[in-house]
Amino acid sequence: MAEERSPEVADRTAKPEAERINAAHATAVRRMLATSSQPRKTMEANVADQALKVQEKKELVPKGEKTVPARYYVPVTDIYEADDALTVMMEVPGVDRKDVEVKLENDELRIEARIDFSKYEGMEPLYTEYNVGHFSRTFSLSQKIDQEQISASLDDGVLTLTLKKVQAAMPRRIEIN
């Protein structure tokens, strides 16, 4: 991590990164609002309550040994529930679509997103707010998730997973005779 040289330099270099993060978050929120079944005003109120702020990047502490000497971080993740599905939104900045791997095994959903370090070769940052590294996260799935109906998309550094619920887990209205 490079040391901070002056407040003027820090403000100039940090602002574009903050704008990129805010733009990615705004895109994710718009997508979530468009696909959610909750009333829009309720969703907007919930989003407004969550102030946009830069969060500290957390390094993943592996349970086993890795054979690749690289740092892995826990991606910032939001999970939303609708009547028919869960939507998982993960921030994985700098990751290309070809470098994302989503695996499902033994009721565990594992996501790995790898950074192409060659993009950063020769760069000497004046100021940095986060370290560059791979991302990894694992979720245990309940039987309420239809494991055949999981989809994923990557857009502007935001990985969106849609986990459809099994029919028995969806809320239903019971008619009164």
Domains held by the chain: number: 1
Q: What are the distances in angstroms from CA 44 to CA 22, 25, 36, 40?
A: 16, 14, 11, 6
Q: Domain for residue 51, yes or no?
A: yes
Q: What is the pLDDT of residues 44-79, one digit of tens each?
A: 555 555 545 556 666 666 666 556 567 788 999 999
Q: Domain for residue 60, yes or no?
A: yes
Residue, of 152 and 122, whose pLDDT is higher: 152
Q: What is the pLDDT of residues 131-165, one digit of tens each?
A: 788 999 999 999 999 999 999 999 999 999 999 99
Q: Domain for residue 174, yes or no?
A: no
Q: What is the pLDDT of residue 161?
A: 97
Confidence band of 11 (pLDDT split at 50, 70, 90) = very low
Residue 85 has pLDDT above 80, yes or no: yes
Q: What is the pLDDT of residue 137?
A: 93
Q: Domain for residue 146, yes or no?
A: yes
Hey, what are 85's tokens?
């599905």
Mean pLDDT value across residues 90-106: 94
| Gap between the Cα atoms of 70 and 67, Å rounded | 9
Q: Domain for residue 1, yes or no?
A: no
Residues written for the chain: 177
- Residue 39: CATH number of its domain: 2.60.40.790
Q: Domain for residue 123, yes or no?
A: yes
Q: Domain for residue 120, yes or no?
A: yes
Question: Which among 118, 106, 102 has a CA at the least distance from the CA of 150?
Answer: 102
Residue, of 11 and 125, whose pLDDT is higher: 125
What is the domain range of residue 143?
Answer: 7-169
Q: Domain for residue 133, yes or no?
A: yes
Mean pLDDT value across residues 3-31: 51
